[in-house]
């Protein structure tokens, strides 16, 4: 029996709160994020304990790897917009991530960076395009869009919770080979979930190439994209393993992206370009937010490895597991109440606009990093401190994230003209790339210069750095609130 055809009107005129296709994307993304956050949580710990890197080198290497992961979301979004479409991009990205996980599992120490390169490219094709598909399930004026992204964000965090705790725990306690193999296995589950329901998306995410383009030409462009992405593996390998090349790449990709966006903006009217200008403000400040927030995969991961007690309220538990999963657990618990709070305020016409929410996110980020700093007051003479206070900081940082990240995804689809939504979603993740890159630099700057430093020396160095980040986040929060009226005008009616 042939699969039913789904017209775009049929998909978007769904009853209730969520389209059924959103649940399929929820499952696909959840398992992909299991792999992504599991890998992220293992990187610094694996490099220090298995590859022999010191804290400073591990922070820089972590920042370089994560920067490339997110930078390639911009490139993946661009190729999806112009050649592959979102559906084929998802499929190809999943295949590459499966390859990356099994490559590292085959020989973790020798093939670690090779497998990482496959994962970088795969995430670039996968991540921005599934988020864009969520936005395309809705009409432009559908007020249910934010709720849809809220549910999608819950899927991200459910995957992050499971992968973030399990994979680093399995790697540390049992086998790093098994931990990396889980990436391949779980991504196969993600891919099967998408393929099973692919027909229900109708025209959403199909090839953007002109229907009159000859089939041979269409196939040639698609094959060139696949082959080109594979040929880029040795180039990425060179750049990831030599951070000087990473510096040069990051110095070039951002300006190039802005120039390309400027070229595309000539095709749009004044209102559309005004909204794009507002989107760039959000993108710029998100770079700063993620530079602080993403200490979780770098300096905070090493802080958890060296400076935290392995018990929470008397229960034995892996501190790295807490570092990798506490934020996701809190997001799952509190995302719905925070969403209901915004709705309650909206009914009373008191809901803050998006830029004010961003500003509030920075103020909460400042409070969280001051709490990370405060762990120094609970340390014993050996430099080992309270996991409870550390977890409290993640509790606070969660509310800062909930003020920024879910609405950021939604804003990129609302503020972007349809022909460049993949590009703008890619730019949102490119901002994360710069955040990750700067996070690595900040983490390296906080690390002790002595590779043989005691835990007490490391504790003092890291907490002093967290105190500085708290001050910078506080300043950014007030600046954003001052800019709120200007950005609101640029948004031209989008809230």
Question: If you average pLDDT over every residue of the chain, what do you get?
Answer: 86
How far apart CA 316 and CA 378 sit, in angstroms, is 18
Please check the confidence at residue 3 and state whether its pLDDT lies above 70: no
Query: Does residue 187 lie within any of the structural domains?
Result: yes
Domain that holds residue 69: 16-490
Query: In this predicted model, what pLDDT tens digit does every residue of 432-447 receive, in sequence order?
Result: 888 888 888 898 888 8
Query: Does residue 256 lie within any of the structural domains?
Result: yes
Residue-level pLDDT at 5: 65
Query: Does residue 10 lie within any of the structural domains?
Result: no
Reported pTM: 0.81
Query: Does residue 168 lie within any of the structural domains?
Result: yes
Query: Does residue 246 lie within any of the structural domains?
Result: yes
Residue-level pLDDT at 241: 83
Angstrom CA distances, 45 to 27, 166, 242, stand at 28, 14, 19
Query: Does residue 457 lie within any of the structural domains?
Result: yes
* Closest among 227, 196, 375 to 300, alpha carbons compared: 375
Residue-level pLDDT at 406: 67
63 within 8 A of 245, measured Cβ to Cβ: no
Q: How confident is the model at residue 26 (pLDDT cuts 50, 70, 90)?
A: confident
Is 55 or 369 the better-scoring residue by pLDDT?
369
Q: Which range, 222-231, 308-317, 364-373, is most confident? A: 364-373
Average pLDDT over residues 169-190: 91
Worst-scoring range by mean pLDDT, 55-69, 113-127, 182-196, 408-422? 408-422
53 within 8 A of 61, measured Cβ to Cβ: yes
Please check the confidence at residue 115 and state whether its pLDDT lies above 90: yes
Please check the confidence at residue 390 and state whether its pLDDT lies above 90: yes
Query: Does residue 3 lie within any of the structural domains?
Result: no
The total number of structural domains that make up the chain: 1
Query: In this predicted model, what pLDDT tens digit does every residue of 350-375 receive, in sequence order?
Result: 777 778 888 899 999 999 999 999 99
Q: How confident is the model at residue 2 (pLDDT cuts 50, 70, 90)?
A: very low
Average pLDDT over residues 272-290: 89
Average pLDDT over residues 219-232: 90
359 within 8 A of 430, measured Cβ to Cβ: no
CA 188 to mean position of chain CA atoms: 20
Worst-scoring range by mean pLDDT, 80-89, 95-104, 127-136, 325-334? 127-136
Query: In this predicted model, what pLDDT tens digit does every residue of 140-177 receive, in sequence order?
Result: 777 777 777 777 877 888 888 898 888 888 988 889 99
CATH of the domain at 42: 1.20.1250.20
Query: Does residue 4 lie within any of the structural domains?
Result: no
Q: How confident is the model at residue 409 (pLDDT cuts 50, 70, 90)?
A: low
Residue-level pLDDT at 436: 85
Please check the confidence at residue 1 and state whether its pLDDT lies above 60: no
Is 357 or 131 the better-scoring residue by pLDDT?
357
Residue-level pLDDT at 247: 83
| β-sheet bridge partners, residue 312 | 315
401 within 8 A of 326, measured Cβ to Cβ: no
Average pLDDT over residues 19-32: 87
Please check the confidence at residue 59 and state whether its pLDDT lies above 90: no
């Amino acid at each position: 029996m042939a699969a039913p055809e789904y017209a775009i009107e049929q998909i978007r005129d769904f009853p209730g709160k969520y389209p059924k296709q959103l649940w399929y994307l929820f499952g696909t993304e959840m398992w992909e994020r299991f792999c992504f956050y599991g890998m992220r949580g293992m990187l610094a710990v694996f490099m220090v304990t298995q590859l022999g890197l010191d804290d400073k080198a591990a922070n820089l290497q972590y920042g370089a790897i994560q920067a490339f992961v997110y930078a390639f979301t911009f490139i993946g979004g661009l190729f999806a917009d112009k050649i592959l479409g979102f559906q084929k991009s998802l499929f190809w990205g999943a295949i590459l991530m499966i390859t990356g996980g099994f490559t590292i599992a085959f020989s973790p120490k020798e093939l670690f960076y090779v497998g990482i390169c496959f994962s970088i490219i795969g995430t670039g094709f996968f991540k921005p395009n599934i988020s864009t598909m969520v936005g395309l399930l809705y009409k432009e004026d559908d007020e249910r869009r934010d709720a849809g992204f809220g549910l999608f964000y819950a899927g991200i965090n459910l995957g992050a919770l499971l992968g973030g705790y399990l994979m680093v725990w399995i790697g540390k306690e049992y086998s790093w080979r098994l931990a990396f193999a889980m990436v391949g296995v779980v991504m196969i589950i993600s891919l099967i979930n998408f393929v099973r329901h692919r027909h229900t998306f109708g025209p959403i995410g199909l090839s953007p190439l002109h229907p009159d383009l000859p089939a041979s030409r269409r196939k040639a462009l698609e094959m060139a994209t696949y082959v080109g992405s594979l040929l880029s593996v040795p180039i990425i390998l060179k750049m990831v393993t030599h951070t000087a090349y990473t510096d040069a790449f990051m110095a070039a990709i951002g300006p190039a992206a802005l120039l390309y966006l400027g070229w595309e903006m000539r095709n749009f009217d004044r209102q559309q370009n005004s909204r794009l200008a507002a989107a760039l403000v959000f993108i710029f400040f998100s770079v700063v937010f993620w530079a602080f927030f993403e200490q979780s995969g770098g300096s905070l991961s090493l802080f958890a490895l060296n400076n935290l007690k392995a018990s929470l309220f008397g229960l034995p538990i892996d501190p790295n597991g807490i570092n990798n999963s506490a934020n996701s657990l809190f997001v799952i618990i509190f995302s719905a109440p925070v969403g209901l709070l915004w709705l309650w305020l909206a009914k009373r016409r008191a809901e803050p606009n998006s830029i004010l929410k961003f500003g509030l996110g920075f103020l909460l980020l400042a409070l969280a990093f001051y709490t990370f700093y405060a762990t120094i007051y609970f340390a014993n003479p050996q430099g080992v401190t309270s996991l409870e206070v550390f977890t409290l900081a993640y509790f606070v940082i969660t509310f800062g994230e909930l003020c920024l990240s879910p609405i950021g995804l939604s804003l990129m689809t609302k503020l972007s003209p349809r022909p460049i939504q993949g590009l703008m979603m890619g730019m949102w993740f490119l901002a994360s790339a710069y955040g990750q890159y700067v996070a690595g630099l900040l983490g390296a700057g906080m690390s002790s210069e002595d590779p043989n430093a005691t835990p007490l020396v490391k504790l003092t160095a890291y907490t002093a750095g967290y105190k500085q980040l708290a001050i910078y986040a506080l300043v950014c929060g007030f600046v954003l609130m001052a800019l709120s009226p200007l950005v609101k005008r640029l948004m031209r009616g989008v809230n």
